[in-house]
Structure 1
């Protein structure tokens, strides 16, 4: 049997430790993520969704438990070291891109993600044809703005650029942190459809936090419901296919 691509074993995270405000956010989380999984994650505010992503990405330390990547213990690795196998797209389109750099320059930066830094000619022209092809897959005119600073793009185009930068080097894990939530409904739907097409075509492994129950049911092969720092529901196969928005809502409000 193949090892999971990422595994959390009894992971517990405490914030404000040693103070009167100390709180346990993740409570002995156990989770196996297999190659090719597209997992949608739902939960009420404070359920631990963002904390889960922060722990997986190395942004937040684990107080107890372990995290394994392809069987290797990565619990103590820094956030920078996690970028060798993981990328993340945030809710805010302003995060994840350099506003003064052009679209092409941002994509070149993403192409060097996780590599050692050296002084060498960037040779941007040699990459432009490929970057234009990539940008065209977003179907929102991004390919016509390779020389445009990211800060001058629309919110939808900038978030599409963030997504492209995240998937450019085919990371083992992609974290989509409500990546369509800040966009208008039409742009959000278009980016969500493109996201799904990309993940399916490239056989990527992704986790997506969403507050849209319809998206949680429509996309992916697996649904997690987080409740008070624990995984209340982990559903795949026929059970997931038969899940309704009403039943999913019931799980969210259950105490």
Structure 2
């Protein structure tokens, strides 16, 4: 896998996407730190990415390659200094993080992020159901949702369904991250960002969450980007794999071509970076 081959693969329009309208597009996006100083650095450097409805994209890259910056630009936590971000063909470059919650949800690496520790599991799920909506002074109606939340929590296979009335701060790290994931997908967002969401968990808990993640994405036909450092997960999950290096996508493969990739090929690719 050399750079020329990777660029050709990245530019090729696959037959399964040729008739689809993109959900999200990043066009010539660059981000700069320490602007107008001797230490000025581009984190993203003219990056282009087209995400189609139903894509489940695993994102790889060495430290400093721009993975988290990519997610921050998509999520609205960081503005692109150059280029544009399009949703359904319309620019959202100037939209805030809060405005983007109408179509986007994100799960972070730290299980403590994304949940309210003093609220119960059920209260957190109810809060998540209001994502992107205007809120007024109306009865919360929590009790009528308990059966629904119990069924939802049971899909995580970690006893979370029996802790609906437990304060989230009292959960294990695995249960809390499972709750963060459920909160993110509860309203079936158009775009789901998973930012190394299993990295802080032990291997068994990580695998349980990845299995549940894959099942939910498939069942709800979600569009997802997932950052991971685990080559095995990048190969096993999703229909598409991209690699970032120096703020650009240097490898982009999907479908049967992705299925034929091996761990050794990916490992060798990283050695060449």
| TM-score strictly above 0.5 | yes
CA RMSD after TM alignment: 0.9
Select the residue among 121, 137, 141 that pairs with 2:139.
121
Paired with 1:145 and 1:135, the residues of 2 have a C-alpha distance of: 9
Q: What's the offset of the Cα at 1:19?
A: 3.4
Q: What's the offset of the Cα at 1:96?
A: 0.5
Equivalent positions of 1:1-255 (< 5 A) are: 1-255=19-273
Cα pair 1:225 1:252 within 8 Å, conserved: no
Paired with 2:137 and 2:124, the residues of 1 have a C-alpha distance of: 17
Paired with 2:154 and 2:113, the residues of 1 have a C-alpha distance of: 21
Between stretches 186-195 and 13-22, larger displacement belongs to 13-22
Secondary structure, counterpart of 1:45 in structure 2: coil
* Structure 1: gaps of 5 or more residues: none
Cα pair 1:227 1:252 within 8 Å, conserved: no
Paired with 1:185 and 1:141, the residues of 2 have a C-alpha distance of: 18
Paired with 1:124 and 1:76, the residues of 2 have a C-alpha distance of: 35
Q: What's the offset of the Cα at 1:88?
A: 0.3
Paired with 2:37 and 2:105, the residues of 1 have a C-alpha distance of: 32
Paired with 2:118 and 2:224, the residues of 1 have a C-alpha distance of: 29
Paired with 1:64 and 1:225, the residues of 2 have a C-alpha distance of: 21
Between stretches 27-36 and 242-251, larger displacement belongs to 242-251
Q: What's the offset of the Cα at 1:253?
A: 2.6
Secondary structure, counterpart of 1:197 in structure 2: helix
Q: What's the offset of the Cα at 1:128?
A: 1.1
Secondary structure, counterpart of 1:79 in structure 2: coil
Q: What's the offset of the Cα at 1:237?
A: 2.1
* Structure 2: gaps of 5 or more residues: 1-18
Paired with 1:21 and 1:108, the residues of 2 have a C-alpha distance of: 46
Between stretches 172-181 and 132-141, larger displacement belongs to 132-141
Q: 1:121 to 1:48 in 2, by over 3 A?
A: same
Deviation string 1:185-216 (CA, Å, 9 cap, x unpaired) is 00001100110011111111100000000000
Secondary structure, counterpart of 1:60 in structure 2: coil
4+ residue stretches of structure 1 with deviation over 6 A? none
Secondary structure, counterpart of 1:41 in structure 2: strand
Deviation string 1:110-166 (CA, Å, 9 cap, x unpaired) is 000000121111111111111111111111100000100111000010000000000
Between stretches 97-106 and 20-29, larger displacement belongs to 20-29
Q: What's the offset of the Cα at 1:15?
A: 1.7
